Structure 1
C-alpha cells in the first residue's frame, strides 16, 4: 500500500485476522518499517488521533491546516525517532521495527463533529528468512533404484512453513527413484509471513550419485582385498632374493680373494721393475755422462800443457 512520506510496499504485509473483522493483522520485518492504514475518507473532518497499545500510549496526532503537515507528539520513549505520519490520510508508520513492537495497537480518530471511530491493529514482527538448503539421505535398493529422504531447512526464521514442488508439503520429503524415473528439479520453498527462500536439486542425479558411490565403494573394497596379497607377494620376493644371495655369497668371496691376490702380484711385479730401473741407473752411467766426463779430462790436460811453457818463459826472463 503506497503512502506519502512512508515506506515502500515491500515493507508491509497485511491480512485480515480470522474471526476478528475489527482487527487488522499487520506483519513487519525486523529492522524495517510497517504502516497502519486508517483509510480516512474525510481528512478535513479530523480533529485529532490518539494512538496507544494495551500497555502504554504511543503518539498524539493533530492536523495542521496551515502547513498541511500533521503535528506528531510521541508519548512513549521507546518510539522516539521511529514514528511518522503521512500527510494526507494520517496513516501511522513505525520504522526500525523491534521484536518487542509486536502487540495490539489502537487508533481513536476524533472528528470535529464530536464522533470517535476506533481501529485496531495486531502487529507481528518477524525476522527475514535466511538461505534455504536441501540435504539428502539416499539408500540403494538394487537394480539402480534407491529410496531418498530430502530435508529442507533455513538458517534463521520463525513461523516457517515448507512446501515441495511438485510433490508435497512439510520439511521432509520421501520418494523412490529409479531408471526412467522422475526428472527435472525438485524445489523446496521455505516461507514465513514476511519472506521466502527457495532451494532446488536435480531429481535424476539422486540415484546416479548413489550408483557412482557404489562403484567407488566396490573399487575401494577390491583394493583393500588385493593389498594383503600384494604385500605377501612382495615379502616372498624379498625372502627369495635374500636366500639366493646367501647361496651365491661363498662364490663371490672366493672370486674376490683371487682378484685381490692377482692385484697384489701385479703390484709387486711393478715394484720390482721400478727397483731394477733404479739399480741400472746407479751402476751404468749413461752415454751423456761419459761424454761430459771425457771432455772434462781433455780440458784439464790442455790447461796443464799450456801453463808449463809460460812458467819457463818467465824463468828465462828473470835469469
Structure 2
C-alpha cells in the first residue's frame, strides 16, 4: 500500500513538474541531426532525461566536452555538448522520436526545465507520390485524380499552371471534360521536406482510349478465327473421307497379235492357196489398282497370267471355200498373256 502511494505521488509530481517546464516542439528528418538548444546563461549543469522512462542520457556543462562512457549506451557516438551546454544529436532514426527533458541548474542554484518534443520524419521524394485515376465516359473525358503519399503527417494540395481554382478535396482532384488539357501539380509536404509531381489529364484519356479500342474489335477477331477453324476442320474431314472411298479402276489396253494356226489340209482355218496372214486383235482389259499394302504382299510373288478370250473373224473368201467363220470359244481359245 505504501509502495503504491509512493508511485502515485511520483507520477503526480512528475506530471506537475513536466507541466511547469517550458515546451518546445522540434521536427527533423530521418538521418539528419538536431540541437536541443537551451538559450540560457549562467548554467552550471544540465541533466538530459529521456521520457517517459526517466533515464538520464548524459550530463552536460557549458564549455566542456563529454566522454562516451558518460553517455547512455543507445546514444554513444551520436551526441555531443555545445558550448552553452545544449545537446547535439546526429544520425536520427524513428526510435529517437521522443520527449527530452533538460533539468537545468544555474550558478545561483536555481533550477528550471525545458521539455523538447522531438519528431523524426522521413524525407519525401518524387517517387513517394502516387497518382491514381478513374475515368468517367459520357461522350467525353471526365477524370477523378487521387494524389497520395504513404507517409505520416503529409499534407496534399493541388494546383495548376494556369493559376485558376481547382476542385480538390482531401487529395482528390475532379477534372471536368473542358479542363483535361490543363496541367495540374500535386504538392506533398511534411515538416522536413516538400515534393511535387506534374500531371496531364489528357494523357490518361488518350491511354484509356488506346486500351479500349482493342476490346471493341475483339469479338470480330474471335469471329474470324472461329470461321477459319471451321473451314480447316471441314477440309480435313473431306480429305479423310475422300481417302476412304474406292477409286475408279484404271483401264489399260493390251495389244495382242493372233496368228492363224497352220493345220493339216482341210482344216477350217487352213488356206493353202494364200500366204499365212496375221490378224491384230485389240482387247481392253481392266485391272484393279492395287493398294500399297497389296503391292507389298505380292511384291515377291511371280506375276500371274490372265487369259483373254477374243472373237476373231476371217475374211469373206473363207466362206467361198465352204468354210464359215466361227467364234473362238472355250473349245478353241486364243490365249494372251498380259502383264499386270
Mark the CA change 1:204 to 1:221 in structure 2 (over 3 Å): closer, same or farther. same
| In 1: Cα distance, 2:21 partner to 2:103 partner | 17
1:120 paired to 2:115: yes
Higher relative contact order (CA 8 A, sep 6+): 1
Once the two structures are TM-superposed, the CA of residue 25 in structure 1 deviates from its matched residue by 0.6
Q: Which moved more, 1:92-101 or 1:212-221?
A: 92-101
- Aligned residue among 138, 154, 162 for 1:160: 154
**Other-structure match for 1:23:** 23
Is 1:90 equivalent to 2:52 in the alignment?
Answer: no
- 1:123 is displaced (CA, Å) by 0.9
In the alignment, the residues of structure 1 paired with residue 94 and residue 128 of structure 2 have an alpha-carbon distance, to the nearest angstrom, of 23
Q: Say if 2:189 is the partner of 1:191.
A: yes
> In 1, Cα distance between the equivalents of 2:73 and 2:229?
81
1:291 matched to which residue of 2?
none
**Could you give the per-residue CA deviations for residues 186-223 of structure 1, whole angstroms, max 9, x where no partner exists?**
33333333334433332111111122122121122221
Count the aligned residue pairs: 228
- Asked whether the equivalents of residues 138 and 146 of structure 1 are also in contact (C-alpha less than 8 Å), the reply is no
SS in 1 for 2:117: strand
Write the deviation string for residues 152-187 of structure 1: whole angstroms up to 9, x where unpaired.
344x532333223344353444444x3x53224333
Partner of 1:106: 101
Q: Distance in 2 between matches of 1:175 and 1:21?
A: 50
* Superposed displacement of residue 105, structure 1: 1.9
1:71 matches 2:65: yes
Q: Distance in 2 between matches of 1:86 and 1:47?
A: 14
Listed one character per residue, the Cα deviations across residues 117-149 of structure 1 (whole Å, up to 9, x for unaligned) are 533211112333463243434345242x23434
CA contact (8 A) 1:138 1:207 kept: no
* Shift in CA distance, 169/195, structure 1 to aligned 2, threshold 3 Å: farther
Distance 1:81 1:100 in 2: 16
Q: Residue 187 of structure 2 contacts residue 196 of structure 2 at CA under 8 Å; is this kept in 1?
A: yes
Match for residue 214 of structure 2? 216
Deviations 1:290-313 (A, max 9, x none): xxxxxxxxxxxxxxxxxxxxxxxx
Is this contact kept in 2: 1:148–1:175, CA < 8 A? yes
Structure 1 232/75 Cα, relative in aligned 2: closer, same or farther at 3 Å? closer
TM-score under structure 2 normalisation?
0.54
**Deviation for aligned residue 1:50:** 2.8
Distance change (3 Å), C-alpha of 1:134 and 1:114: closer
Asked if the contact 1:132–1:199 (Cα under 8 Å) also holds between the matched residues in 2, the reply is no
Aligned-pair distance for 1:24?
1.3
Rate the CA distance shift 1:245–1:138 in 2: closer, same or farther, 3 A. farther
List runs of 5+ in structure 1 lacking aligned partners. Answer: 1-19, 65-69, 261-267, 269-319
SS for the counterpart of 2:179 is coil
Residue 231 and residue 71 in structure 1: after superposition, are their counterparts in 2 closer, same or farther (change >3 A)? Answer: closer
- How far apart are the structure 1 equivalents of 2:241 and 2:62? 112
Tell me, which stretches of 5 or more residues in structure 2 are unaligned? Answer: 1-19, 161-165, 253-285, 290-302, 304-340
Does the alignment pair 1:57 with 2:56? yes
Paired with 1:210 and 1:59, the residues of 2 have a C-alpha distance of 61
DSSP-derived class of the 1:159 partner: coil
